[in-house]
Amino acid sequence: MANIRPKEGKKGRTWEARVRLAGAPPLSRTFPTYQEAVAWVREKEGAITRGANPMTTADKVLVSEVIEWWRKSKTVPYNEDLRLEGLSHDLGKFSVKALNHDRINKYMKAMLDTEIQPQARKKKTHALYDGDRKRKYAPSSVRKYYYTLKKIVEAHAWAHGYPLDQSQFKKQSIPKAWGNKKERRLESDEEKRLFDALDGCYVHKEEWRNLLSFALETGMRAQELLLCEWRHLDTQRRGLFLPSAIVKKTGKHLEGLERTVALSLKALAALEAHMATKRDDEPRIFWQWSGSGPLGQTFRRICKRAGIDNLTIHSLRHEATARLFEKNKLTDAQIMKQTGHTELKTLLGYYKYRPESVAALLDCLPHGTSRPATTPRTSENQQPAERSAGRRRTLPLLSKKPLVWITTLSQSACDSRVQPPRLRQADRQ
């Protein structure tokens, strides 16, 4: 049962509310107004009836405590642990209830406007990286911070049985995931310069040629390239099966992402050349690289040697996807199956429109050629045979039965001026 009684003190009249229900500890609190006391009583009685824990409330739990609870109860990945460390530094002193809608919105805006401080122990900048450039948090990074905070707060409230403010994470201005889309593609002779720069590699020269050729033909991710295995290769059907264990999993698409990548003749030729490096104790096709980190670092050195800027190993996936569109023979569904995209909006973000390539397709000619100019035919410069061939041909009569004239006009549109066409004498027979 609940009891509300007035109390006289130095600050005037206040109202003391008490809640006592069977199976729950007694609760009491003082409020300046009677209406606030009634609202608190109803909230606590409803929470106890639903089976919630009334002793653990959102105004008593700090965000830092929620983060420590999440780290102890889950195996946190490295990238997520870095985000949790930043959230604990920025919001750890606030209680869960203090994270209202306005404060969370201001926090995201402040992250977008804040410059990332350089590392305190940094001594020099690597030649392959632009570490001296002043940077701010990307919209996609702020989006990850927001969803990490939302996930751990809701999980803690669910596990400890206390209600959350419904307006905390609703109708927030969340930054877009693709706020900084990359439009980088290989231009002019960059592909040739890229392959020529492989001659300067100390090791794995031919392996790099095979890998780059295969990536430009299939559009596979770097993770898929490094983890695909020989046993999944089917040369008869010209396909490479990628199980769901090595396919990137994001968002709600966590299962059923395995696919078979169709292999062109150039892709098969690259695998055939790479088969000379096959080892019995290594099931992976491209076993020469232990992970995407060493692969990306070596690719940066190759690009610097070739004089190419702002090109990453993932840019080859963008280039391969754009080429699939430019071939103008595959449907969007077929391209999505080839590249592994689950949403059409994401797939279209990979297509970089080139008007010269589309114009060549409209002319039905290969890229780089032009249609020869022709003199339009007129009745004066045409031969008699050509004039007769250019006339409209009369279709043969399919049936000798009388034709039935059908009109779709409404009754209001029909009048005496609408008459069925007259049949010729030959059609009546």
Kindly report, residue by residue over 164-175, the tens digit of the pLDDT.
Answer: 877 888 888 888
Q: Which class in CATH covers the domain with range 190-362? A: mainly alpha
Of the chain, the percentage scoring pLDDT greater than 70 comes to 75
Residue 329: its pLDDT value, please?
77
- The mean-pLDDT minimum among 23-27, 75-79, 406-410 falls in 406-410
Average pLDDT over residues 295-314: 90
Write out 203-219 in H/E/C secondary structure: CCHHHHHHHHHHHHHHC
State yes or no: pLDDT of 405 exceeds 50. no
Phi, psi of 422, rounded to the nearest 5 degrees:
-80, 140
With a CB cutoff of 8 Å and minimum separation 6, the contacts of 283 are 229, 230, 231
Show me where the domains of the chain are located.
Answer: 2-49, 57-118+132-180, 190-362
- Flag the least confident range among 131-135, 328-332, 346-350: 131-135
User: For residue 131, what pLDDT is reported?
Assistant: 63
Tens-digit pLDDT profile for residues 211-254: 999 999 999 999 999 999 999 999 999 999 999 888 876 545 44
Which of 27, 36, 37 is closest to 5 using CA atoms? Answer: 37
Predicted pLDDT at 256: 56
SS (H, E, C) 151-204: HHHHHHHHHHCCCCCCCCCCCCCCCCCCCCCCCCCCCCCHHHHHHHHHHHCCCC
Which pLDDT value is given to residue 275? 93
Q: Are 118 and 56 in contact (CB under 8 A)?
A: no
Q: What is the pLDDT of residue 246?
A: 86
Q: Determine the 3-state secondary structure of 290 from DSSP.
A: coil
pLDDT at 249: 62
State mean pLDDT over 120-136. Answer: 71
pLDDT for residue 134: 76
Read off the pLDDT of each residue in 349-369 and give the average, rounded to a whole number: 65
**Statement: residue 68 has pLDDT above 70:** yes
Q: Are 282 and 268 spatial neighbours (Cβ–Cβ below 8 Å)?
A: no
2-9 sheet: strands from edge to edge = 2-9, 12-19, 27-31
More confident of the two residues 21 and 378: 21
What per-residue confidence (pLDDT) applies to 144?
A: 92
Question: Who wins on pLDDT, 387 or 66?
Answer: 66
**Whether the predicted pLDDT of 394 surpasses 50:** no
Asked if the model's pLDDT at residue 77 lies above 50, the reply is: yes
The model's confidence at residue 349, banded by pLDDT at 50, 70 and 90, is confident
> What percentage of the chain reaches a pLDDT higher than 90?
33
pLDDT of residue 93: 92
**CA dihedral sign, ordered 124, 130, 133, 138:** negative
The alpha helices in 7-126, defined as continuous H runs, are 34-49, 63-73, 78-91, 101-113
Is pLDDT above 60 for 136? yes
pLDDT at 81 exceeding the cut of 80: yes
Residue 365: its pLDDT value, please? Answer: 53
Strand, helix or coil for residue 242: strand
Identify the pLDDT of residue 128: 67
* Residue 347: partners with Cβ closer than 8 Å, 6 or more residues away: 321, 332, 335, 336, 339, 341
- 229-238, 322-331, 333-342: which has the highest mean pLDDT? 229-238
How many CB atoms neighbour CB 227 within 10 A? Answer: 20
CA atoms within 13 A on the CB side of 396: 2
- Report the mean per-residue pLDDT for the chain: 79
